[in-house]
Amino acid sequence: MRHDPIYPSRRSPVLADNVVATSQPLAAQAGLRILQQGGNAVDAAIATAAALTVVEPSGNGLGSDAFCILWDGKELHGLNASGRSPAAWTLDRFPKGMPDLGVDTVTVPGAVSAWVSLSERFGQLDLETVLTPAVRYADEGFIVSPVIAKLWSNAAVLLGDQPGFAETFLPEGRAPKAGERFRNPGAADTTREIGRTRGESFYKGALAEKIVNFLKANGGAMTLEDMSSHEAEWCGTLMQPFDDVDLHEIPPNGQGIAALMALGILNHTGIRDYGPDDVQSLHLQIEAIKLAYRDLHAFVADRAEMRTVGERDLLDASYLKSRAELIDPNRAIDHGVGAPKRGGTVLLNTGDASGMMVSFIQSNYAGFGSGVVVPGIGVSLQNRGAGFNTIPGHPNCVAGRKRPMHTIIPGFAMKNGQPLMAFGMMGGPIQAQGHVQLLLRTQIWNQDVQTAACAPRWRMVEGLKVACELTMSAKVREGLSALGHQVSVESPDNAFGFGGAQLVHRLPDGGYVAGSDPRKDGQAVGF
């Protein structure tokens, strides 16, 4: 693979037979340690994910949701471990719309069920062993890294009065600073119990009771039945071909289908005639993403609720071609919703010497999530309920025992029936957009994974608004403006807005090349 051009903050890719790439170095090393102890890529992914709940609490926690795509050596699998809303939630409960924070944003946390399901089906080591690095970081403490310290400080202002938050995450009344040690003994005990009971306590036992009782005491609607009825789902993947590469995404309730739609639209454009940083190349990508996101927000929800417009309708080749025909190469357009049927988050990727590859994503949604933290057990709860809307009749309208539309998505690329790349990008609404950018850079323009991670990014906001990184050349930004895009330049401090990419690419003769986003504290490691 080519190693040019060179972008600001350029790191070197990591090449090895066994690799882990994620957004926090200690978590990456936790996964690497498990690989060195004889674990496989799934064991390493679980170890890394569990460690991230401790060392990167600004993006995930024990109360997160998760999704995974993995190649087991013979076939591809997709896992949906997102939780459902409490049975008692109705539209009447939210007369002012969905809140962003607090107990009424908490759906059943699914990440623990992902760890258990992956371990039981594909793990090589026992779950207690795999969770040991996370337990140690929580028990003995870890030194807080710079990007996470900044996000932690921002959260202290926003969430300091949420139930249980200050008690767990604001020792001495403030967020820990970069270079300071932070301990979370409650999370250590909880993680041990999760390993010992293989998640049983978290959903049906003592831990579940503590979570439910605390939520109830603060006005929440979650019940033990809501918790105990949760199961992770082996859901398979959806696929979109582009030349000789197939992009795979998790089916709805995630936004991965938007990346597939955008790629399908780009199939019918002249994007292959341009370079990775050409104005026209970016223009076509932005227009394709706008078209895909219009349909995403109109039609995508819990898979079971997409009765009128389904996945096949949105990915129909003739429909995507008709959407591509709406793109004007000479000007930006504020596209409307189509008619497909006539009538923030943490991310990690692993690969082992046997060829097993994992793309895993885990998230609280908005940083520390709901802000609600169960005292004594270190469980910070996500705010995925904020992903619902309150539009009667909309497939994503809030209701009981329903999965909200999710932003978090793992990505996986296949080529000629063989695994090519486990990858993804954390960061809310940029994720599907980022998948498209990363796939095109690595597969059409042959950039190595670290170059693709370092490259300047854009993010479609809404209408004609497009946010660009300061590292994007002024000439390119001016070119986009000339086409009618309303371009804004966001501060380099906005790490969340432009995401955090992690990529593991399989080499033709075995082994991997891995890259980790310089916008985060993380790294790619291997041996």
Cα–Cα distance, 215 to 209 (Å, whole number): 10
Give the least confident one: 9-18, 157-166, 382-391.
9-18
How would residue 339 be classed by pLDDT, with cut points 50, 70 and 90? low
Residues 190 and 337 in one domain: no
What's the chain's length in residues?
527
Tally of domains within the chain: 2
**Residue 2 has what pLDDT?**
44
Higher pLDDT, 212 or 366: 212
Where is pLDDT greater, at 8 or 356? 356
Assess whether 108 and 217 both reside in one domain.
Answer: yes
pLDDT over 50 (residue 272): yes
Q: What percent of the chain has pLDDT over 70?
A: 96
Q: 217 Cβ partners below 8 Å, 6+ apart?
A: none
Report CA-CA distances (Å) from 8 to 232, 451, 469, 471, 519: 40, 10, 11, 7, 11
Q: 457 and 329 in one domain?
A: yes
Q: What is the structure's pLDDT at 420?
A: 98
402 part of a folded domain: no
What's at 339, amino acid-wise? A
Q: What's the pLDDT band for 367 if we cut at 50, 70, 90?
A: confident
Weakest mean pLDDT among 157-171, 221-235, 284-298, 486-500: 486-500
What pLDDT does 341 receive? 53
Largest CA distance in the chain: 61
Which pLDDT band, with edges at 50, 70 and 90, does 340 fall under? low
Least confident span in 213-227, 244-258, 483-497:
483-497
Q: Do 183 and 327 sit in the same domain of this protein?
A: no
Indicate whether 6 pLDDT > 80: no
CA distance 443 to 457: 17
- Residues 160, 201: one domain? yes
Answer for the pair 70, 77: CB distance below 8 angstroms, yes or no: yes
So what's the pLDDT on residue 495? 54
Residue 31 lies in a domain: yes
- pLDDT for 342 equals 43
Using 50, 70 and 90 to split pLDDT, how confident is the model at 337? low
Q: What is the reported pLDDT for 346?
A: 87
Query: Has residue 492 been placed in a domain?
Result: yes
Last residue of a domain, one of 387, 416, 441: 387
Asked if residue 2 belongs to a domain, the reply is: no
At 493, the pLDDT band (50, 70, 90 cuts) reads: low
Is the model's pLDDT at 97 over the cut of 70? yes
Q: Would you place residue 121 in the very low, low, confident or very high pLDDT band (cuts 50, 70, 90)?
A: very high
| Claim to verify: residue 152 and residue 55 sit in the same structural domain | yes
Answer yes or no: is pLDDT of 8 > 80: no
Residues 188 and 326 both lie in one domain: no
Is there a single domain that holds both residue 212 and residue 243? no
Q: Looking at 69-83, 214-228, 496-510, which range is the least confident one?
A: 496-510
First and final C-alpha spacing in the chain: 20
Across 343-359, average pLDDT: 90
Is the pLDDT at 331 greater than 60? The verdict is: yes
Is the per-residue pLDDT at 27 higher than 80? yes
Predicted pLDDT at 336: 74
Q: What CATH code is carried by the domain that includes residue 442?
A: 1.10.246.130
The more confidently predicted of residues 367 and 237 is: 237
CA distance 104 to 94: 9
Assigned domain for 398 exists? no
* Residue-range definition of the domain harbouring residue 251: 238-345+408-526
Give a yes or no: residue 393 inside a domain.
no
Specify whether 173 is located in the same domain as 87: yes
201 belongs to a structural domain: yes
Task: Note the pLDDT tens digit of each residue in 433-448.
Answer: 999 999 999 999 999 9
- Say if 363 falls within a structural domain: no
Work out the average pLDDT over 238-261: 97
Q: Which of 336, 358, 387 is the last residue of a domain?
A: 387
User: Is the confidence at residue 417, as pLDDT, over 60?
Assistant: yes
Same domain as 224, residue 114: yes
Nearest to 195, CA basis, from 50, 79, 303: 50
- Confirm if 311 and 251 have CB atoms less than 8 A apart: yes
| Average of per-residue pLDDT values in the chain | 94
| Tokens, residue 187 | 């999370």
Match 């604001």 to its residue by tokens.
170
Task: Say if residue 203 is in the same domain as residue 260.
Answer: no
For residue 180, pLDDT beyond 50: yes
Q: Compute the distance between CA of residue 258 and CA of residue 281 in angstroms, rounded to an integer.
A: 18
pLDDT tens digit sequence for 354-366: 999 999 999 999 8
Residue 343 has a pLDDT of 41
Which is higher by pLDDT, 490 or 93? 93
Once rounded to an integer, what is the mean pLDDT over residues 293-306? 94
Is there a single domain that holds both residue 314 and residue 444? yes
pLDDT at position 3 over 50: no
How high is the pLDDT of residue 46?
A: 98
